[in-house]
Structure 1
Amino acid sequence: MNIIQETERLRLREMNHEDVVQLLTIFSDPVAMKYYPATKSKSETKEWIEWTLENYRKFNLGLWVVEDLETGIFLGQCGIVPQKVNKKIEMEIGYLFKREAWGNGYATEAASACCEYANEQLGITRLISIIDPANEPSVRVAKRIGMTYEQQMEKWGKLVDIYCYS
């Protein structure tokens, strides 16, 4: 298990093929996936893992599994992924947690750890988050980690807000 970061309560580690079932607890939940285009099947979740592993190989970053540090229980995913914004590649902090983990500050704690990792380990000083304007919990996480609203744009066939951390 390749551990990326540990915080007071969380472990962020590289995703692997054995994480399909845990990720499906989020991807198959229509409430957790409300701001995504659709829920994901098991085969789509496997494709997601392959995309993540490719990001590790190409960019030395990606989405990481977030676990409770003490118990090892799967909570969600958080990490840094390349996204095309205004015709250039930007590094985005993304986070998605299972509903049972909501409201405990895990997304903020994991996203903060990702900012620290990006700055200290990768030398990345500018990070963005692409957020559906109606996704108020994600907006709150972005603001808590020091991001500010930058612009609105169309991506994935809808309007999204871009928050920036630099």
Structure 2
Amino acid sequence: MVELGPAVRPPAPIETERLVLRASEARDRAAVIELFASPQVGQFIGGAQPRDVLEESVPEIPGRRPGFFVVELGGAMIGTVTLDRRDAERRGHVADDSGAPWLGYLFLSKAWGHGYAKEASAAVLEWFADEVPGESVVLCTQSANEPSMRLAAALGFVEVERFEQWDAEQWFGIWSRSTSPGSGRRG
């Protein structure tokens, strides 16, 4: 993955009405392991990973990089939102050399259905749009992942293409402040 760049560093923290988005800390390690070991969470991302492998491989402070946000509710981690630039070989770019940042989100199943993913993702997108005006963000999800498809639409992502990968149809969309609901709204 290609970093967002030194000029684009997330603030510490981003606060929404109900959530705090912050850098990862050592206290998040157990929740990160729970997240990636969950069969429900893993359903559309290649399956759950074995807990013993995660215990050995997850660093003391997981996800320590620009663009990795721990989503906290009431002092506990409930998920993550990531914004990463990926290398040009990644399928689904708008253009081969676009290097657009990719939005990703994973939430513990106990946090599903409360609008936390939308609230956290929208806050990250707005922060990024303020930091890098005019730059688009992309998202890829399995088209069979209906909740993720609804979230992409609610955030204002516009479909660019669908393609087959990992034995499933993938949906690829693009977002800019001008396509998002409530666009024109500043900071």
> Are the aligned partners of 1:3 and 1:14 in contact in 2 as well (CA < 8 Å)?
yes
Q: Which has the larger radius of gyration?
A: 2
The one-letter code matched in structure 2 to 1:150 is V
Residues 1:150 and 1:3: Cα distance change in structure 2 (over 3 Å): same
1:64 aligns with 2:69: yes
Report which of the two has the higher share of strand.
1
Q: Determine if contact 2:21/2:69 at 8 Å carries over to the other structure.
A: yes
Q: Which string of whole-angstrom CA distances, capped at 9 and with x for unpartnered residues, describes residues 114-144 of structure 1? A: 1111111243620111101111101111111
C-alpha distance in 2 between matches for 1:45 and 1:35: 21
Aligned to 1:28: 37
Give structure 1 stretches of 5+ with no counterpart. Answer: none
The corresponding residue for 1:113 is 123
TM, length-normalised to structure 1:
0.82
- Sort the Cα spacing of 1:21 and 1:120 in 2 relative to 1 into closer, same or farther, 3 A: same
Cα 1:47–1:154 shift into 2, 3 Å: farther
The residue identity in structure 2 corresponding to 1:109 is: E
For structure 2, which runs of at least 5 residues remain unmatched after alignment?
1-10, 177-187
Q: Aligned partner of 1:93: which letter?
A: L
Q: Give the Cα separation in 2 of the matches to 1:100 and 1:12.
A: 18
What SS does the aligned partner of 1:3 have?
coil
Of 125-134 and 85-94, deviating more is 85-94
Are residues 81 and 155 of structure 1, via their aligned partners in 2, closer, same or farther at CA, if it must alter by over 3 Å?
farther
2:104 maps to 94
How much does 1:44 deviate? 3.8
C-alpha separation between the residues in 1 aligned to 2:156 and 2:131?
Answer: 19
> Does the CA-based 8 Å contact 1:15-1:65 persist in structure 2?
yes
Greater fraction of residues in helix: 1
Instruction: Give the structure 2 partner of residue 104 of structure 1.
Output: 114
SS of the aligned residue for 2:100 comes to strand
Q: What do the CA deviations read for 1:65-90 (whole angstroms, capped 9, x no partner)? A: 0001xx21211001211133443322
Confirm or deny that 1:16 pairs with 2:29: no
Describe how 1:1-166 pairs up with structure 2 within 5 A: 3-40=12-49, 41-46=54-59, 49=62, 52-53=63-64, 56=65, 61-68=66-73, 71-83=74-86, 84=90, 85-86=92-93, 87-88=96-97, 89-123=99-133, 125-155=135-165, 158-166=168-176
Q: What's the offset of the Cα at 1:148?
A: 1.4
**How far apart, in 1, do the equivalents of 2:75 and 2:34 lie?**
16
State the distance in 1 between where 2:80 and 2:41 align.
12
